[in-house]
Amino acid sequence: MTETIPPATDPPIDQDLYDSPRAALARARGLNAPYISGGEDPNPGPALDVDRKFGRLLLVMVIGIVLAGFVIGIAIALAEGIL
């Protein structure tokens, strides 16, 4: 006896999600899914503060690495000149 697999059906539509503002904006842009990057953060201040902090840290690290390369290069040049 062979089992027949019923055809796949789409899951039922969640009316609350379908009517959400994000889904309406996505449909207006021609998207199939209610995903729009960027989100709707009601209080972006703390996240921006953290971004600024890590941005400054990244800048300091890059400057430190570049300057360390110059310092090491000068130290090697001086050491080779002395020996």
In terms of residue numbers, what domain contains 55? Answer: 46-83
The tokens describing 81, both together, are: 């000149």
CA dist., res. 17 & res. 19, Å (int): 5
Q: Report pTM.
A: 0.50
Residue 4 falls inside a structural domain:
no
76 in a domain, yes or no? yes
Single-letter residue type at 36: I
Q: Tens of pLDDT along 11-20?
A: 677 777 777 8
Cβ partners under 8 Å of residue 35, min gap 6: 22, 26
Closest to 21 in 3D by CA, of 35, 41, 42: 35
Is there a domain that residue 55 lies in? Answer: yes
Q: Which residues contact 40 (CB under 8 A, 6 or more apart)?
A: 22
What pLDDT, in 10s, does the model give residues 31-78? Answer: 877 765 666 777 889 989 999 999 999 999 999 999 999 999 999 999
Residue 70 lies in a domain: yes
